[in-house]
Amino acid sequence: MELNNIEEIASYIVSDGKGILAADESNPTCGKRFDTIGVENIESNRRDYREMLFRASGLKDNIGGVILFDETLRQNAKDGTPLIDIMNAAGALPGIKVDKGLIPISDGSDEVITQGLDGLNDRLKEYVAIGAKFTKWRAVIKIGNDMPSDQCIDGNADALAEYAKLAQNNGLVPIVEPEILMDGDHTIDQSFNASSRALASLFNSLKAKGVNLKGVLLKPSMVTPGSEATLKASVEDVANMTLKSLKENVPAEVPGITFLSGGQTEIEATQHLDAMNKIGGFSWKLSFSFGRALQAGALKAWSGDSGNAFIAQDILSHRAKMNNLAAQGDWIIDLEEEF
């Protein structure tokens, strides 16, 4: 597979309904996942789990890229094969999370900014040498009392743009992720407002830094009410409000928008993605970059037992196929009941 530049790589990752498997949980986060299935959070178990995911037959044709944590990018499978070779053989390009987590935007603030720009250029060069093709940086935006502030939105947008420019300078596709947290009791209108402000600021910053938008992927939240909101939203409301925010703020030259699942169930995330693609009327590919919404069922089925690998892989492969169909507006609920 000959992909010569960042524009070709970005377009490939979201081609033909393909999306991204987000497997970049930090070791502590992986530990929280493993706690739910009674598995010890040690390097060999993390490797076995991810190897199981990457060997699933459903990666082929459905997954265009896999976001990895630093440890995973360097790991070999049990038989000695580099994990990134397993992904590449399935046509899923290896990517790497490069931010260094969150710190308060100022002393005592509930708002956060993402750190990791120090030394980033050197780390990017190393990741290229190992074989990474794309990168990810996550910003976190909270809704609440006087939140999000302009300081939070603009500060995170600037950091995302600086990271994106460095990534492109090193021949890597940057995924820019301005996540609006679902935590809280906010309405869908408040979510729409925060999303629109974050996207507008982000693309202003990207343009100001001279980032090539044809070689960028956007990883936004869907516009939903808060997880504790009294007023829920229909699938149609989420699809329409999300599309409205995107159409008003995301330039047409961006090749792909790969949503995070952000606390939605596996079926909800697929359903919302499909609804947007059925509505249509946009130039970008609307696809997925799901973590839990691809992995949750597989993780539970695996439960640390290699004898369960085939069952877990079938579950992951099914979800990958369902989301591929949703990314093309071809999913129907009956396909879930057959599985």
pLDDT value for 220: 98
Q: Which of 25, 51, 111, 177 is catalytic?
A: 177
Q: Which of 97, 133, 142, 219 is catalytic?
A: 219
Alpha-carbon distances of 2 from 8, 12, 17, rounded to whole Å: 9, 10, 19
Q: Is 177 a catalytic residue?
A: yes
pLDDT value for 77: 97
Per-residue pLDDT of the chain (339 residues; tens, 9 = 90+): 689 899 999 999 999 999 999 999 999 999 999 999 999 999 999 999 999 999 999 999 999 999 999 999 999 999 999 999 999 999 999 999 999 999 999 999 999 999 999 999 999 999 999 999 999 999 999 999 999 999 999 999 999 999 999 999 999 999 999 999 999 999 999 999 999 999 999 999 999 999 999 999 999 999 999 999 999 999 999 999 999 999 999 999 999 999 999 889 999 999 999 999 999 999 999 999 999 999 999 999 999 999 999 999 999 999 999 999 999 999 999 999 766
pLDDT value for 167: 98
Domain coordinates of the chain in residue numbers?
6-338
The structural architecture, per CATH, of the domain 6-338 is Alpha-Beta Barrel (3.20)
pTM for this model (two decimals)? 0.97
pLDDT value for 40: 97
Q: Is 71 a catalytic residue?
A: no
Closest CA to 245 of 315, 171, 155, 178: 178
3-state secondary structure the chain: CCCCCHHHHHHHHCHHHCEEEEECCCHHHHHHHHHCCCCCCCHHHHHHHHHHHHCCHHHCCCEEEEEECHHHHHCECCCCCEHHHHHHHCCCEEEEECCCCEEECCCCCCCEEECCCCCHHHHHHHHHHHCCCEEEEEEEECCECCECCHHHHHHHHHHHHHHHHHHHHCCCEEEEEEEECCCCCCCHHHHHHHHHHHHHHHHHHHHHCCCCHHHCEECCCCCCCCCCCCCCCCHHHHHHHHHHHHHHHCCCCCCEEEECCCCCCHHHHHHHHHHHHHHCCCCCEEEEEECHHHHHHHHHHHCCCHHHHHHHHHHHHHHHHHHHHHCCCCCCCHHHHHC
